[in-house]
Structures are given as C-alpha cells and as structure tokens.
Amino acid sequence: MQPRAKLFSGTGSRYLAEKIAQRFGEPLGKISIQRFSDGEIQPTFLESIRGDYVFLIQSTFSPADNIMELLLMIDAARRASAYKIIAVLPYYGYARQDRKDKPRVAIGSKLVANLLTAAGADRVITMDLHAPQIQGYFDIPVDHLDSSAIFIPYIEQLNLENLTFAAPDVGSANRIREIASYFNAEMVICDKHRKRANEISSMVVIGDVTDRNVVLIDDICDTGGTLAKAAGLLKEKGARSVRALCTHPVLSGNAYVNIENSVLEEMVVCDTLPLREHSDKIKVLSVADLFAVAIKNAYHNQSITSLFIHSQRRNK
C-alpha cells in the first residue's frame, strides 16, 4: 500500500503552506510548535506519521529561528518513524554565502545543506537558489523549481513591444539569457561594483535600451538598492519603461522606500516570503500551484520536468 502524504507547516510559512495544501487537495497536518520562555522551540506532531511521506514547508528567512524550527521538525519526524521526510523551502536562506569570495568567511549555504541532511531530510524541494550549484552541496536529491514558470506567463500577458530583458548584475546573466531566448528578445547587463554588502559603488549598462520596454529579473530583492539604481540608469539610457520581477522579496532595511521612490513601473514578486508592508508598486504572484504539483509529483515518484518552461522557445 502506498504510504500516505502529509503536509505540515512551520510558523514562518503558514500563510503559503495553507494555499499549497489546498491546491494539493489535503488539509495541513496537525502540529504544535511551542516556545519556552527563553525562546527555545519544541515542535510536536499531533497525529501519527509512522510510515508516511512527510512534507515540511518552511522558508528559512531571518530570524534564524525559522531554520532551527525546520531542523527540529525534521528531527521530530524522523524520531516519529516517518517513511520519507521532504523539506520544502520556498526560500532557501543563506544562499548568498555560496563560496569563499574573500579570506576567512563561512560558506553558509553549504552549512545549511549539511544541517538539513544531518537532521534527517531525505529530499529538498526549493526554488530559485541564488546559485544553482548549491544543489551540489547536498548528498540527497534536490528539486530546484524555477520562477520562470510563473513570470513568463505574466510577461506574456503584458504584451510589451520592443521587449528587452536586463540582468541587474553579471551573476544573473545566465538566468536572463534563457528567458530572453524564450521571447526571442534582446538582453542587457547592469554591471555593478560593491564596496561592501548592500552598498553599490558604481554601475554601468552593457547594451542598448533606447526606446525599449525593459524587464529586470533577479532572484532576491533585499534592500532594493540594486534594482532602484539599475532602473534609474536604464531610464537615463533611454528606456521607455522599466519594471522588475524578483522571486524572493526579502525587502529589508529601506527597501520599501527605495522601491516606492524608484522609476520602476512595478515590482512583481512571489509569495515565497511574507511581505512586511504594503506598496502600490509591488504585485505578488503565488507559487502555491507550482509547489503543490512538485510535491504531488515527488510523492508519486513522477518527473517535474513539465514544471520548467523557460527552455522552450516561444513560436513567433
């Protein structure tokens, strides 16, 4: 008999897990996550999960309690004799620390991978890692979903003429190139130089955007400084309009002010993270359907290739 599939949520992603469970066709499982007076976390499954596929939905954004909560949930599931434990991380925190780019620094994304594996996860389902090679940090299977399955249909319904895609930095060039190829569109690169994290010292545009409708695409929007500066520079270079599509709305510090005061027509984000404030410029698209299908396919041992559309060239 096929083991049952049960979905549970951590506290940080409950808003999204409820939508995923609804589209999956099963209610969220019952779990209690208590805190001692000093903040120590204690998750308890309130129903049997013995021999079940257990999907634990939790983005590991700040504070670090979200990571610790997920690790404890995994450990509790393993000790409760779950058949398979799948960690579902719509947003994989610490992914920006993916290499030693200077002496004596940690590789945070590798550490988190080690922690998830050591806790007892059998598989990870996540989306738009800051660097795709982070999948190689795991010795367990990783299903790496792509936001292009959500963003491409949105771009298509905009019906923009003279469409050009822009990478906000050189590191995003490959992601932008695939989407630009899908639309048979041009692409440009905004080459930036940082003095320190979250502080841009200079930026130049590589390519022509004169009279073009430009779409900036990035995986993470933290302070919004890069996107705001890139949008302003693109307009100075003659762009007709500039909008941004960003998967993970971290939006810390002065991000909301930076976005509101920018020349961006709009910023479209996914609900992998909860928004702290409202902004008329920010539009949210849900990843619930995408994750529900990915979870269903993982449960039935089916391919998730159909969830990737960025590699398909649109017919003109």
Task: Name the residue among 174, 189, 233, 186 with its Cα closest to residue 212.
Answer: 186
- Distance separating alpha carbons of residues 272 and 89, to the nearest angstrom: 9
Cα distance between residue 314 and residue 316, in whole Å: 6
Active-site position among 30, 84, 192, 316: 192
Distance from chain centroid for Cα 78: 26
How open is the CA angle 288-250-106, to the nearest 5 degrees? 110
Cβ atoms of residues 244 and 225 within 8 Å: no
Residue 192 is among the residues annotated as catalytic for this protein:
yes
Which among 314, 316, 309 has a CA at the least distance from the CA of 148? 309
Torsion 179-180-181-187 (CA) sign: negative
Q: Which two structure tokens, joined as six digits, stand for 229?
A: 């500066």
What's the CA gap between 117 and 71, in Å, rounded?
A: 9
Active site residues: 192
